Structure 1
Amino acid sequence: MKRNTIWVMAITAGIAVANLYYNQPLLAEMGRSFNASALQVGFIPMLTQIGYALGILLFVPLGDMIERRRLIVTMLAATACALVTAAVSPSIVWLASASLAIGITTIVPQLILPFAAHLAKPGERGEVVGNVMSGLFIGILLARTVSGWIGETLGWRAMYWIAGGLITFLAVIVLKLLPKSQPSLKLSYQKLIHSLLGLIRSQPVLREASMIGFLSFGAFSAFWSTLAFLLEQSPYHYGSQVAGMFGLVGIVGSATAPVIGKIADKKSPRLTVGLGVTITLLAFLVLWFFGLHLWGLAIGVILLDLGAQSTLVSNQARIYSLLPEAQSRLNTVYMVSNFMGGSLGSILGIYGWSWLQWNGVCLVGLSMLAVSLAIFFRGYKCSISVPSQE
């Protein structure tokens, strides 16, 4: 792959995925704007991630049968419309509906990742995916920083207007700079979607990666969906701008994605999956015991993003090596699992906050990660007794 193609893909993935996370530092401000409770506004990130999972399921498999660049540009245009709809929301119900639409249309990163894996040579696939994932994760983290600052200075609606304009500009850039890709798969849409079930039944590595991704990303989302509420109260008393600034702290962890990809290429992606889940669990222990101290919160965020990045990149390196002709569909199964887990983690985090405040959030994260580690070790034992599919 040309280096500039990787850069375009990484930047596009980062800017596009940011739309899913602009709401997290703004939840408290949205609640005040509509006179809504924490539980009511907590449904906004949950619906966004449910929409994302639904959009991946409905549209990402098309990447195996439709020219990818045209599909990417079409979805960017649809995302811009959804963002403008959110910006003019007259009620919390309208905003929740617009957030669902934003999630459904913001699937461009999941079209780009298998596109990049398809263009890369087998020996460099982990590194290329890691580079694109760095752009994606930095987009996730900077989204919180940017939206927190804009929300505090211009109001939460301004963030959606700016994002709509940015996505429109990005669609023009993608049309000019990304290469065309003509898939060879000839299936009806119904058979294409039905083939997902066949992949789930026939690929044990895909099943294991999807279950681990579901739980680990759920824990990740539980933290980020409740951070703004923690920072608003004692001992912090911070606004949305500071909540967003923690995205910059997390970049330290996210910048390691290319290194993780190289380790996965040279060693074993299974090894880095286990390492990622363990680091994420350690992050929640730090957040639980030291999260009411600023230094403890910062260390926890760094570990959390490092662990989440390791798990995601390594799992994707595993699944992309299974069936080269089905990379979009493999990615569909895996990412639907991730974001269904993310939506569950978001709402469980809100319930945990309503129940036991910060202790409740940390208990939710630790519980999900403990189950994730159990699945990992069960798969590890099976891979010793049965020849591995990897």
Structure 2
Amino acid sequence: MTKDRLIIIAIPVICGLTAANMYYIQPLFLMISQSIGITYIQSTNLFTAQLIGNVLSLIFFIPVADVIDRRKIIGALYLCLCTGLFLVYFSTNFNILIGGYALIGVGASSVPLIIAFYNKEKKHENIIGYIMGGVLLGIIGSRFASGILSNFLGWRGIYIVSFFLMLLGASFVLKNMKPNSDNKEKNISYLNVIRSNIMATLEDRSVRLYCFYGFATMFSFTAFWTNIATYLDQSLDFSTTEIALFSLLGVLGALVAIYAPVITGSIFKTSLRLFMTGIALLACAIALPNSLIWLGGFTALFDALIQLIHVSNQKKLYSRSKGKEGGLKLQVQRY
């Protein structure tokens, strides 16, 4: 196998496994609350801590990759991720646990930087769809993996397994990533990087629109999968294994990323069409009968649409960045 072929296969897998760390917890809320003696609401706050860590990292940490070597940032993020996984596995109280989950959220933000790097590599021009497919497969597969492994290793087991996988993944990514020394801006301060990021968003309507599409779809996606385990458990009396198996329906939707360029180019030529289709799909889901068959079909279609929107948004936003994927001096090309 050639090196380029290995990268095309390995990078989507690594990105998928990295993103999966954010979602291992979703089928485990009830088990965690019972295990360490906290309420169900407190256990869901652990997921909130991850999201807060992820958002803060994306806003204040990721843009720095435009002015220093991207590999250093990615290495630091994977260090945060591995530390968080370690703390979660060995945690003895809620405070340590919530700190570990926050670090996992920070570390998982390394995925956009990896995508940004390969977006500029012409010999890997089709890898973005594969990476986004790997990310969604990782998210969906994470629920299946944590649901199954929790029956054998306990709810903590998935985190120690992921700890070793992330060590291997980080080593591969850093070894095969070239330094971005050509993008260094030695006279640009950190505050200027953040200010430039904010101004690019305020000045360009298209950027704001794509950000809104991404936020709205991911909000819906996360809300759905955060609550589905509880619904299946309490309303349909599903076991942990059955919930894990149900989550595999989302894999059908994730596979659409492989064909995302063809679909978005011939059917959904704009993000607006994708977004409006998503609204129509949600409206249909509310109106449809409350049955497992309808729920399963909606899950596959919904995940497919989420994937298409994210692939479309990523490509259009990166096309504006002109080498400054972290946000510095975003170049606006109005349609």
TM-score, normalized by length of structure 2?
0.89
- Are 2:238 and 1:238 aligned? yes
Aligned partner of 2:106 among 101, 104, 107: 104
Separation of aligned partners in 2, 1:46 and 1:146: 21
Separation of aligned partners in 2, 1:305 and 1:29: 26
What is the aligned residue count? 329
Q: Which amino acid aligns with 1:293?
A: S
**For residue 349 of structure 1, what is the aligned residue in structure 2?**
none
Q: Which amino acid aligns with 2:99?
A: S
**For residue 278 of structure 1, what is the aligned residue in structure 2?**
277
Shift of 1:270: 5.4
**For residue 120 of structure 2, what is the aligned residue in structure 1?**
118
Shift of 1:280: 6.0
Q: Do the aligned residues in 2 keep the contact of 1:269 with 1:314 (CA within 8 Å)?
A: no
Q: Do the aligned residues in 2 keep the contact of 1:249 with 1:302 (CA within 8 Å)?
A: yes
Shift of 1:245: 2.4
Q: Do the aligned residues in 2 keep the contact of 1:275 with 1:310 (CA within 8 Å)?
A: yes
Q: Which amino acid aligns with 1:202?
A: E
The verdict on how the C-alpha distance between 1:281 and 1:96 changes in structure 2, with shifts beyond 3 A counting, is farther
Separation of aligned partners in 2, 1:215 and 1:282: 14
**For residue 197 of structure 2, what is the aligned residue in structure 1?**
196
The structure with the greater share of residues assigned to helix is 1
**For residue 161 of structure 1, what is the aligned residue in structure 2?**
160
SS at match of 1:20: coil
**For residue 324 of structure 1, what is the aligned residue in structure 2?**
322
Shift of 1:209: 0.8
The verdict on how the C-alpha distance between 1:69 and 1:217 changes in structure 2, with shifts beyond 3 A counting, is same
The verdict on how the C-alpha distance between 1:128 and 1:273 changes in structure 2, with shifts beyond 3 A counting, is farther
Shift of 1:65: 2.1
**Once superposed, what is the RMSD of the aligned Cα atoms?**
2.6
Measured against aligned partners, the alpha-carbon deviations of 1:50-76 in whole angstroms (never above 9, x if no partner) come to 211111112211222222234323321
**For residue 221 of structure 1, what is the aligned residue in structure 2?**
222
SS at match of 1:85: helix
Alignment of 1:181-192 (within 5 A): 181-186=180-185, 187-192=188-193
Separation of aligned partners in 2, 1:48 and 1:284: 29
SS at match of 2:193: helix
Shift of 1:233: 1.6
Q: Which moved more, 1:299-308 or 1:58-67?
A: 58-67
- Are 2:319 and 1:389 aligned? no
Alignment of 1:137-156 (within 5 A): 137-156=136-155
The verdict on how the C-alpha distance between 1:270 and 1:198 changes in structure 2, with shifts beyond 3 A counting, is farther
The verdict on how the C-alpha distance between 1:50 and 1:200 changes in structure 2, with shifts beyond 3 A counting, is same
Separation of aligned partners in 2, 1:314 and 1:297: 26
SS at match of 1:389: coil
Q: Which amino acid aligns with 1:206?
A: V
Q: Do the aligned residues in 1 keep the contact of 2:62 with 2:73 (CA within 8 Å)?
A: no
**For residue 362 of structure 1, what is the aligned residue in structure 2?**
none
Identical pairs, percent: 26
The verdict on how the C-alpha distance between 1:68 and 1:161 changes in structure 2, with shifts beyond 3 A counting, is same
Aligned partner of 1:303 among 301, 304, 311: 301
The verdict on how the C-alpha distance between 1:208 and 1:97 changes in structure 2, with shifts beyond 3 A counting, is same
**For residue 17 of structure 2, what is the aligned residue in structure 1?**
15
Q: Which amino acid aligns with 1:241?
A: T
SS at match of 1:322: helix
Separation of aligned partners in 1, 2:296 and 2:263: 26
Shift of 1:102: 1.1
Q: Which amino acid aligns with 1:120?
A: K
**For residue 177 of structure 2, what is the aligned residue in structure 1?**
178
The verdict on how the C-alpha distance between 1:269 and 1:320 changes in structure 2, with shifts beyond 3 A counting, is farther
Q: Do the aligned residues in 1 keep the contact of 2:129 with 2:260 (CA within 8 Å)?
A: yes
Q: Do the aligned residues in 1 keep the contact of 2:83 with 2:103 (CA within 8 Å)?
A: no
Alignment of 1:291-370 (within 5 A): 292-329=290-327
Q: Which amino acid aligns with 2:205?
A: P
Measured against aligned partners, the alpha-carbon deviations of 1:190-217 in whole angstroms (never above 9, x if no partner) come to 2111211121122211101111222221
Aligned partner of 2:34 among 32, 46, 57: 32
Measured against aligned partners, the alpha-carbon deviations of 1:220-250 in whole angstroms (never above 9, x if no partner) come to 111111111111123x212333223233211
- Are 2:51 and 1:49 aligned? yes
Separation of aligned partners in 2, 1:120 and 1:188: 30
SS at match of 2:323: helix
Separation of aligned partners in 1, 2:86 and 2:52: 20
Q: Any unmatched runs of 5+ in structure 2?
A: none
- Are 2:80 and 1:135 aligned? no
Shift of 1:277: 4.8
